[in-house]
Amino acid sequence: AQSVTQLDSHVSVSEGTPVLLRCNYSSSYSPSLFWYVQHPNKGLQLLLKYTSAATLVKGINGFEAEFKKSETSFHLTKPSAHMSDAAEYFCGGGGTSYGKLTFGQGTILTVHP
Amino acid sequence: DTAVSQTPKYLVTQMGNDKSIKCEQNLGHDTMYWYKQDSKKFLKIMFSYNNKELIINETVPNRFSPKSPDKAHLNLHINSLELGDSAVYFCASSRQAETQYFGPGTRLLVL
């Protein structure tokens, strides 16, 4: 069965400092993994997606994530936080042919000036 | 030219009422989904349709009934609304099991 765990419910950083949002997955087979971002009162926007083509995945707005099978992790990073990055981030995984996604609990990112 | 649209955006109603939420996508996708996001922001899939055929039906009360009149539409009808149905409902679409694109959400409040 597929499950996704986001290790931090809340991450707070200063503008210009690195961002690390952690996600672990468990799966009995090779997963497809995603990161979505949700700004207040908005829908989910896809940041990036891993589908086994490359372990380091680059997304929009300077975000990237690295798939590490040995650690069953897919952490999201950004070298330098911007105020506009403040939002909630969801890690998700899918493993069936029907596109069923399982989401983590979400991580709220706060960016201080 | 919104890709996935939902109506209404906000819905406030009384317990016991019946309501519908509509979803339309203009991406040419063949698979559509309904998700529920509860007050703790936990996102859980409810239903999925592929080419108008129900393929995912999670443990959801029978009061919830999805309907897909064509590949571009997936509506959600809820009977006898309860307080616990208050949530944000997201529609999404994809081509087969590829990347899912989400609508803006419908915020349902049951009083």
Question: What are the residues whose beta carbons fall under 8 Å from the beta carbon of A50, sequence distance 6 or more?
Answer: A31, A32, A33, A34, A57, A65, A67, A74
Contact B15, B82 (CB under 8 A): yes
pLDDT score, position A3? 83
Hey, what's the torsion of the CAs at A16, A59, A104, B80, to 10 degrees?
110
- Contact between chains at B31 and A99 (C-beta distance less than 8 A): yes
pLDDT score, position B21? 97
> In Å, how far is A26's CA from the nearest CA of chain B?
17
Whether A54 has its CB under 8 Å from any CB of chain B: the answer is: no
Rounded Cα gap, residues A26 and B94, in angstroms = 23
Whether B97 has its CB under 8 Å from any CB of chain A: the answer is: yes
Residue for token digits 């909630």? A88
Measured between beta carbons, the chain B residues lying within 8 angstroms of A40 are none
User: Residue A50's closest chain B neighbor by CA?
Assistant: B99
Measured between beta carbons, the chain A residues lying within 8 angstroms of B50 are 98
Contact B5, B103 (CB under 8 A): yes
Rounded Cα gap, residues A42 and A87, in angstroms = 10
pLDDT tens for each residue of A62-82: 999 999 988 999 999 999 999
Q: What is the share, in percent, of chain A residues with pLDDT greater than 90?
A: 64
Question: Please, which pLDDT band fits residue A51 given cuts at 50, 70 and 90?
Answer: confident
User: Residue B39's closest chain A neighbor by CA?
Assistant: A105
User: Least CB-CB distance to B55: which of A46, A98, A105?
Assistant: A98
